[in-house]
Amino acid sequence: MSRDPDQLKNIVEGALLAAGQPLTLDQLLGLFLDEERPSRTEIRAALDALIADCESRGVELVEVSSGFRYQVKTAMAPWVSRLWEEKPAKYSRAVLETLALIAYRQPVTRGEIEEVRGVSVSSHIMKSLLEREWVRVIGHRDVPGKPALYGTTRLFLDYFNLKNLSDLPDLADIRSIETIERELDFDEADGDDSRAKALAEEPEQIQVAMPKEATETAVQEPQH
């Protein structure tokens, strides 16, 4: 059906903003009756045009795991976050490490997480990750005790602005004794300080941060 491309754009924009949650291409197509339904290409073009329209605005249109959504650009966060008195939740290192292990190693059992972290994972942590619906039980390993296998959810990806798991930051390589010797006399100082900044932003979360020297060495790490 021939249609004013602006109208299509406006409908898509209106629907995404009214929904307040990500909408898939199929959900967008579902807004139209059969006889007026645009093609996927047309919807895609409308989305692309809307994405371009956001360039100089305070919001952006992004695709996350469960679809397309409008969100406030991170540059506005310092002001926009003042709308709420409550500070956004902070997650302990234990929670984040457990989450990282589930995200990168899924499907994974609690025992396997404990093995890597070298400490037991409290039930409290698993419970809060499950309650947030960032993590779910996706099966059971066929070994004695049938331990639950955990995996991450779409909500987890949505929450962290990811379209799929491959968007996660790369895991650092495991280096062998041989490679390290070659690397040892290689890049000393130019770490990114974003991590140091991140640490500094949340002093109360991390009560004790690394002493300066230690931080610097750690900074040399992941190259992405």
Partner 1 sequence: MPTASETVPQQGEMPFAKVRGEEITQLPLDLYIPPDALEVFLDAFEGPLDLLLYLIRRQNLEILDIPIAEITRQYIEYIELMRDMRLELAAEYLVMAAMLAEIKSRMLLPRSAESEEEEGDPRAELIRRLQEYERYKQAAEEIDTLPRLGRDTFEARAKAPDMKVARTELHVDLKDLLLALKDVLVRSDRFTSHQIQREALSVRERMSNVLGAVNADSFTEFTTLFEAKEGRMGVVVTFLAVLELIKESLIELIQSEPFGPIYVKARHDVQRS
113-172 positions binding a second copy, by CB under 8 A: none
Contact of 169 with 222, CB cutoff 8 Å: yes
Stretch that binds a second copy, among 16-24, 107-115, 156-164, 175-183 (CB under 8 A): 16-24
In angstroms, rounded to a whole number, what is the distance separating the alpha carbons of residues 39 and 4? 14
In angstroms, rounded to a whole number, what is the distance separating the alpha carbons of residues 155 and 200? 28
Please give the size of the binding site for a second copy, defined by CB under 8 A. 30
79 binds a second copy (CB under 8 A): yes
Residue with smaller CB distance to partner 1, 40 or 80: 80
Q: How many residues in the chain?
A: 224
> Of 214, 210, 220, 212, which is closest to residue 173 (Cα–Cα)?
220
Site map (CB under 8 A) of a second copy, residues 37-66, x = contact: -------------------xxxx-------
Q: How many CB atoms lie within 10 A of CB 16?
A: 21
Among 1, 5, 44, 75, binds a second copy (CB under 8 A): 75
Structure tokens at 134: 């960032």
Residue with smaller CB distance to partner 1, 29 or 206: 206
70 binds a second copy (CB under 8 A): yes
Residue carrying structure tokens 């109208």? 7
- Shortest gap between Cβ of 5 and a second copy (angstroms)? 12
Q: Which does 54 bind (CB under 5 to 8 A by kind): partner 1, a second copy, none?
A: none
Contacting a second copy within 170-209 (CB under 8 A): none
Among 32, 104, 159, 160, binds a second copy (CB under 8 A): 32
Q: Among the residues of the chain, which ranges form H helices?
A: 5-19, 25-29, 40-53, 77-80, 93-105, 110-117, 123-131, 154-159, 177-183, 194-201, 212-219
Residue with smaller CB distance to a second copy, 29 or 130: 29
SS3 16: helix
Q: How many CB atoms lie within 10 A of CB 31?
A: 15
In angstroms, rounded to a whole number, what is the distance separating the alpha carbons of residues 167 and 161? 9
Among 82, 182, 212, 224, binds a second copy (CB under 8 A): 82
- Shortest gap between Cβ of 41 and partner 1 (angstroms)? 25
2 binds a second copy (CB under 8 A): no
Residues that bind a second copy (CB under 8 A): 6, 9-15, 17-20, 23, 27, 30-32, 56-59, 70, 72-73, 75-76, 79-80, 82-83
